[in-house]
Structure 1
Amino acid sequence: MRDYPAFPSLRSYLDWCRESGQFCMIDEPVSVRHQMTAVHRAVLEKSGPVLEFAHPVLDCGARADVPVIANLFGTKERVAAGLGVTFDRLEDLGAFLADLRSPSPPEGVRDALSRWPMLKAALTTRPKIVSSAPVQQVVHDGDQVDLSALPVQTHWPGDAGPLITWPVVITRPHGTQAQDVGTYNAGVYRAQVWDENRIIMRWLPHRGGAKHHHSWTRANEPTPVAIVLGADPATLLSAALPLPETVSELSFSGAFSGCRPRLVPAKTVPLLVPAEAEIVLEGWVSPTETAPEGPFGDHTGYYNPAEPFPVMQVTAITHRKDALYLSTYTGRPPDEPAIIGEVFNTLALPTIQAQIPEVRKLWLPPAACSYRMAIVSIDKRYPGQAQRVMMALWGMLPQFSFTKMIIVVDADIDPTDWEDVAWALATRMDPGQDVTLLERTPMDYLDFASPQPGLAGKMGIDATTKIGSETNRVWGRVMKTGDADANFAADLVARVLPGMGS
C-alpha cells in the first residue's frame, strides 16, 4: 500500500521533508515561552513547512542543547505521508485498514494470494525486541533527572507552566507482563512539567491510559509509564488514531510504517519502548497523589480550569546523543490536531461504512473542534433511518460520544459544503419533528457549554427527505437541469466566455 519509503524513525521522516522542500531551519534564538507557539501558528496558517528551532531559549534565559521540531503534521499531505501514502490515496488506505481489522474469508486460492499485501501488513505489526537502541545512548537516572533542561514550551499567556504536547504515553494493565505488547496502550495526553522530576498526567477516564492506571490503583500499586518524545510518524499517528481498546497502537503502527516496530526494554520501569525514538521519560504514576493540572489553553480555544490529576515521578530520561524534541500547540483551529482530524475523517470512513453501510460521506468540521459536530450523508431507504444512524455513530467509538451535534442529510447533499447543508436544513427539516435531543450523556470536560463537567446533552437533526410514515404530504421534487442541456450550456459558455473556464 505504501507510496513512500518506510519511515522507521522521526529522523527518516524529517529527511524526506528536507528532500521534498518541506523543512525550514530557524537559526535565530526563539523563546519556548509564547514566542515559539506564535511562530508555529503563523507558519501553520500558511500551510508552511516543518520547523526546526535550532536555538530554543529556556525560561532561565539559557539556550537549550536540544533543538525543537514543530509543525510536523501542519498539512494534510504530510499527515498522509506519515501514514505512507499520498493524500489522494487515503480512501484506499482506509479501505485496506478496514479489511485488515475485519477481514472476510478468501474466495479461493487466487483471492487468498491477492491478499498477500494485507498479510504482509499484519505481519509487520509484530514488534521486534532489541537489547540496545539509539534512544538509550544517553541515560540520566536518579538525581541526574532534570526536566528543566528540556525545551518544553509554555504555549499561551494564561498557561500554568511548561506543557508537553506531543507525548506518546505508554502503559499496560495490572497483571500483565512487559513483553505483552498486545495489551499496551499508547495515547497522546497532556503532561504538565511540575518540577525537575515530576509530571502531572492529564488522562481522562474514557482513555486507555486512565483505564490502565485504574487497574494498578485498585491493587494499590504505582503505574509504570513511559513517555515517548519524538517517535516515528506511524507511532505518533497510531497513538492519536481512535482505535478500538482491544488494539495495541504500538503493534498497529507497523501496518502504517511498513516495517516491524523495534522495541527495547526501558531502564527503570517494566515496559518496552520504541527503540528509534528521540527521548523517553520513564517513571511511576502514584495510585494516590494528585496535583492541580492547568489551567492551559486547549483545542476549544479556551483555557480549561485547574483540576486534580495523578502525579508521575520520573525515574529516568533516556535519549539519543543528538536528540530532537518534538512539540506542537493546541488551540482554536487551525492547529495540528485539527489537521490530523481531517485526515482521520477520511481514513475512518470505510471502517464506519463497514458498521453502518448506508453512510456515504462523513465530515467533522475542523472549525467545530473536529469531533464536536458531524455531518453525515446516507442512502435513505426507510423511515427513522436518520435517527438510527445518529445512535449508531454516538455509540460506535469513544470519540463520537463527545459529538454534541449530528446532522444527517441525503446522498445528494455534500456534507463538506455548508451551502448544501444549509439548503437541506432549510427545506428538509422541521424543528418540531426532526430534532432528537438526548440528556445527561458523556461530554468532554473542556466543553464549557455543558451544564455539568463531563455530562451534557446531544442533538441530532434529520435533514433528509421524509418518506413513508415520516410525512403525510407529497414531498417536493428537486429541480435539476437535464444532462443534455447542461452539456450544451457548458460548451456554449466555454466558447463564448472562455475566460470563465469549465
Structure 2
Amino acid sequence: MPFHDLRSYLDALDEQQQLLRIEEQVKPEPDISAAACAAAKLGDKSPALLFENILGYHDARIAMNVHGSWPNLAIAMDMPKNTPLKQQFFEFVRRYQNYPGEVEHRDSAPWQEVVIEDDINLFDILPLFRLNHGDGGFYIDKASVVSRDPSLEGKENEDSQNVGIYRIEVKGKKHLGLQPVPAHDIAIHLQRAEELGVDLPIAITIGNDPMISTVGAMPILYNQSEYAMAGALNGTPYPIVKTALTGLDVPWGSEFVLEGRILSRVREAEGPFGEFTGHYSGGRQMPVVEITKVSHRKNPLFEHLYLGMPWTEIDYMMGINTCAPLYVQLKEAFPEVVAVNALYTHGLVVIVSTKTRFGGFAKGVGMRVLTTPHGLGYAKMVIVVDETIDPFNLPQVMWAMSTKFNPEYDLVTVPGLSILPLDPASQPAGMTSKVIIDATTPKAPEEHGHFSQELRDPITTDDWVEKLHNMMQVNSLSQAKDSSKVNNS
C-alpha cells in the first residue's frame, strides 16, 4: 500500500533494514549533516537516518537521507527493495502515464493537532541547523511549497495550484527567504501577483510522505496537478486537506504546515547555500515570506535533506522523477526513443538512447531535449546513443562516445540559452551555451566513419547473466546462514 505520511514510510524502511535509528546524543552541527553526507558515501543502497537525541533540542526528531538510495525509492513505490534501477525507471514511467490519478479531499488532518497563530518563533518551533559550514543561515530544503496563480479565479485558480520544492532560508522569527527559480511554476505565480500588486499566499509543508516529495521535485507540465500525479504514481487516491487561512490544498500526512504570503515586490539578501552543484551559490536578492500561522502534529518529525558534492540524497530524489517526464515528452515526438538517463547533477547532463531513422536524426532528438520544461532550465549537455546502448550503463555510454563520436560531424553547440542561475559555469548567471553530442552510428546520408564490423555478445550471454546472478544470490544466502550459525554458537 502507498504511504500517506512520513511516519508509515519510515516504519516500512525500518522493517526492511533501510533505516538506522541514531539514539546516541548528537550535536546539530556538524554531526547531523556529516552523518547524512557519510550515509551517501556508503553507496547506492544507503539507509535513511532518524536522529532521536539531539543536543539542545528537547524531544526533537530529525529524519535524513530518506530518499537517499535506490532501495528506499523502490520501497516508496511498494516494489521489492532490490529492484534494479532500470526496472524502477520503466515502472515509474508506466505509472506516470496513468495521469491523472485520483485525489481525495479530507476534512481534517493530523497536522491540525497543534496550532500557533500568536508570537510565532520558527527558531523555537523547528529544530534548525546548518547543512554546510559556509551556509549563510538555517535552511529548510525539503519542504513542499503550495501556491496558485492569483490572476485566475474560481476553478481556474484551483487548477493552477502548484507544489514545488525550493530552498528556504529562515531569516527571522516568522520571516523566510525563498528562491523561486525562473523556470519553476511558483515564479510564474509570483510574477503575476506582483503585476497585480498583491502578496502571493503560500503554504509550506515539512515532513511529507515520500511520493509528494518526489513529485514536488519533478518537472511536470504547468497544467498538471502534483496531487493527481502522486495519485497516479501511488495507484490510490492521494489525500489532501484545505487550509483554513490560505484556502490552499496541502498533503494530509504532513508533519508541519506553515501558512503565509510572499510579500509583493520585496527582496532581501539570501544565501550563500551549499547547493546540489557541489558549489556554494553565493548571495542574491530573493523574495521574502511572512508566516502568519503554523500547524503541526504532536511530537512532530522534522525532515531535512543534506546536499553537497554529488552524490547525496537530492541526486536520488531528483533522479528517476526527472528521467520519466523527459522520456514521455520525447517519446511523443520521437517514438524511436528507448530510454532516458537524467540522473547526473539534476539532469544538467541528459543521456538518450534511440533508434535512428536517417542521418541527423539523433541531433533532432537532442534539440527536443533542450526545449522540454526540464531542458529549458537544465540539460546543458545532451548525449544521444544508439538503442543498443543502455543509458544507465556509463561504461557503455563512454564506449559509444569514445568510438562513435567525431567532433567535426557530431557536435552541436547552441549559444545563448537559459540555465538555472545556480549553475556555476553560467555567464552571466542563468545563461549558457549548450551542446549535443551525437554518439550514434551514422545513418545515410551520413557516411563518416567505419562501423560495419561492430562486435556482438555471444548468443547465450543473456541466459548466462541470469544464471550467474541467481547463483550469486544463492551463495549470498548460504554465507548469511553460515554467519548466523557461527554467531549463535
Cα 1:362–1:257, aligned 2, differ >3 Å: closer, same or farther?
closer
Rounded Cα–Cα distance in structure 1 between residues aligned with 2:50 and 2:175 = 27
Using the TM superposition, give the Cα deviation of residue 91 of structure 1 relative to its aligned residue in structure 2, in angstroms. 4.3
| 1:473-484 equivalence runs, <5 A | 475-480=450-455, 483=458
Name the residue aligned to 2:76.
82
Cα 1:286–1:466, aligned 2, differ >3 Å: closer, same or farther?
same
| 1:6-405 equivalence runs, <5 A | 6-46=2-42, 47-57=45-55, 62-86=56-80, 87-88=83-84, 89-101=87-99, 122=100, 124-130=101-107, 132-174=108-150, 175-177=152-154, 181-344=158-321, 347-348=324-325, 349-350=327-328, 352-366=330-344, 369-399=345-375, 401-405=377-381
Using the TM superposition, give the Cα deviation of residue 400 of structure 1 relative to its aligned residue in structure 2, in angstroms. 5.5
Rounded Cα–Cα distance in structure 2 between residues aligned with 1:424 and 1:414 = 10
Cα 1:78–1:481, aligned 2, differ >3 Å: closer, same or farther?
closer
Assess if the C-alpha contact under 8 Å between 2:95 and 2:233 holds in 1.
no
Using the TM superposition, give the Cα deviation of residue 378 of structure 1 relative to its aligned residue in structure 2, in angstroms. 1.4
Assess if the C-alpha contact under 8 Å between 1:127 and 1:251 holds in 2.
no
Cα 1:482–1:421, aligned 2, differ >3 Å: closer, same or farther?
closer
Assess if the C-alpha contact under 8 Å between 2:441 and 2:451 holds in 1.
no
Assess if the C-alpha contact under 8 Å between 2:103 and 2:240 holds in 1.
no
Assess if the C-alpha contact under 8 Å between 2:209 and 2:254 holds in 1.
yes
Cα 1:346–1:189, aligned 2, differ >3 Å: closer, same or farther?
closer
Rounded Cα–Cα distance in structure 1 between residues aligned with 2:252 and 2:155 = 15
- Residue 298 of structure 1 aligns to a residue in which SS? coil
Rounded Cα–Cα distance in structure 2 between residues aligned with 1:482 and 1:164 = 50
Structure 2 runs not aligned, ≥5 long: 469-474, 476-489
Assess if the C-alpha contact under 8 Å between 1:145 and 1:314 holds in 2.
no
Aligned length: 458
Rounded Cα–Cα distance in structure 1 between residues aligned with 2:40 and 2:398 = 29
Rounded Cα–Cα distance in structure 2 between residues aligned with 1:476 and 1:249 = 45
TM-score (norm: length of structure 2): 0.87
Name the residue aligned to 2:483.
none
Rounded Cα–Cα distance in structure 2 between residues aligned with 1:144 and 1:304 = 29
Which letter maps to 1:480?
A: L
- Residue 309 of structure 2 aligns to a residue in which SS? coil
Using the TM superposition, give the Cα deviation of residue 30 of structure 1 relative to its aligned residue in structure 2, in angstroms. 2.0
Which letter maps to 1:83?
A: M
Assess if the C-alpha contact under 8 Å between 1:137 and 1:318 holds in 2.
yes
Rounded Cα–Cα distance in structure 1 between residues aligned with 2:270 and 2:120 = 25
Deviation per CA, 1:311-330: give whole Å up to 9, x if none. 00110110011211011111
What's the Cα RMSD here? 2.6
Which letter maps to 2:331?
A: Q
Which letter maps to 2:412?
A: T
Which letter maps to 1:66?
A: A
Cα 1:178–1:129, aligned 2, differ >3 Å: closer, same or farther?
farther
TM-score (norm: length of structure 1): 0.85
Deviation per CA, 1:129-169: give whole Å up to 9, x if none. 31x32101100113244334311220111110100011100
Cα 1:91–1:27, aligned 2, differ >3 Å: closer, same or farther?
closer
Using the TM superposition, give the Cα deviation of residue 399 of structure 1 relative to its aligned residue in structure 2, in angstroms. 4.4
Rounded Cα–Cα distance in structure 2 between residues aligned with 1:355 and 1:451 = 31
Assess if the C-alpha contact under 8 Å between 2:103 and 2:239 holds in 1.
no
Using the TM superposition, give the Cα deviation of residue 395 of structure 1 relative to its aligned residue in structure 2, in angstroms. 1.0
Which letter maps to 1:167?
A: A
User: Which stretches of structure 1, 4 residues or longer, exceed 6 Å deviation after superposition?
Assistant: none
Using the TM superposition, give the Cα deviation of residue 179 of structure 1 relative to its aligned residue in structure 2, in angstroms. 10
Rounded Cα–Cα distance in structure 2 between residues aligned with 1:481 and 1:226 = 55
Assess if the C-alpha contact under 8 Å between 2:92 and 2:233 holds in 1.
no
Structure 1 runs not aligned, ≥5 long: 102-121, 495-500
Deviation per CA, 1:294-336: give whole Å up to 9, x if none. 0010011110110011100110110011211011111121111
Cα 1:177–1:53, aligned 2, differ >3 Å: closer, same or farther?
farther
- Residue 432 of structure 1 aligns to a residue in which SS? helix
- Residue 39 of structure 1 aligns to a residue in which SS? helix
**Percent identity over the alignment?**
27
Name the residue aligned to 2:407.
431
Name the residue aligned to 1:113.
none
